[in-house]
Structure 1
Amino acid sequence: MQTLQAQIQIPPEFVLISKVEYEELLNNTLDGKFLSLKEVAEHIGCSTAYLKNEILYHPRYKEEIEKWCHFPTSSGDHYRFHAKSLYQFLDRESVKLFLKKKY
């Protein structure tokens, strides 16, 4: 095996970190973040009507979703989704959710 030693200057506006630390930082960007109904629909590429009818109010998922989603309770109230929990749910259930996807 051949090796090469090199010295590279890193500009002061950049920081060198390990891959593990970088991945942890990426995962932490969702901590405490909430998303709107429109943001979720855009993220998964469907209409808000599909999201409500086929996912949010589907008996199979509703009980779990209620743990990390705020459903509107009055006029002017909005849906709010805990981003990290939502993305974990979508990763786990994506195949089931989108096999019958209709727009």
Structure 2
Amino acid sequence: MQQTLNATINIPADFILITKIEYEQLLNNHTEGKFISLKELAEHLDCSPQFLKENILFNPRYKKDLEKFIHYPVASGNKYKVHMNKAYKYFDEHSISIFNRKNK
């Protein structure tokens, strides 16, 4: 037998109530199209920028894929530009195989 409880909860005027789906959409829209630095990507992956460059960014096995969402510097003073959402998604899907190969 299902029991129910009717209650009234006062929500302060500076708060709003939204669904979990709406909340997740708001979070995703906040980062959509955002670019981050190479240092920020390295921090996210818990490795040094030097390790990231030497072992992943310039590795021919990954470079073609990475060029789809990472801008490699072409001149002195130019910086890496990393599309955050695409990079995070790529590394979420491939990080185990990438980092396992580095340990061998």
- Where in structure 1 are there 5+ consecutive unaligned residues? none
Tell me the TM-score normalised to structure 1 length: 0.91
Tell me the TM-score normalised to structure 2 length: 0.90
What is the CA-CA distance between 1:67 and the residue it aligns to? 1.1
* Matching residue's letter, 1:74: A
- Per-residue CA deviation, residues 75-98 of structure 1 (Å, 9 max, x unaligned), is 111001001110110111011122
What is the CA-CA distance between 1:100 and the residue it aligns to? 4.4
- Where in structure 2 are there 5+ consecutive unaligned residues? none
Q: Which residue of 1 aligns with 2:23?
A: 22
* Residue 17 (structure 2) pairs with residue 9 (structure 1): no
Q: Distance in 1 between matches of 2:4 and 2:81?
A: 53
* Matching residue's letter, 2:93: R
What is the CA-CA distance between 1:101 and the residue it aligns to? 4.8
Q: Which residue of 2 aligns with 1:56?
A: 57
How many positions carry a matched residue from both structures? 102
SS of residue matched to 1:73: coil
Which is richer in helix? 2
Q: Distance in 2 between matches of 1:76 and 1:61?
A: 24
What is the CA-CA distance between 1:2 and the residue it aligns to? 1.1
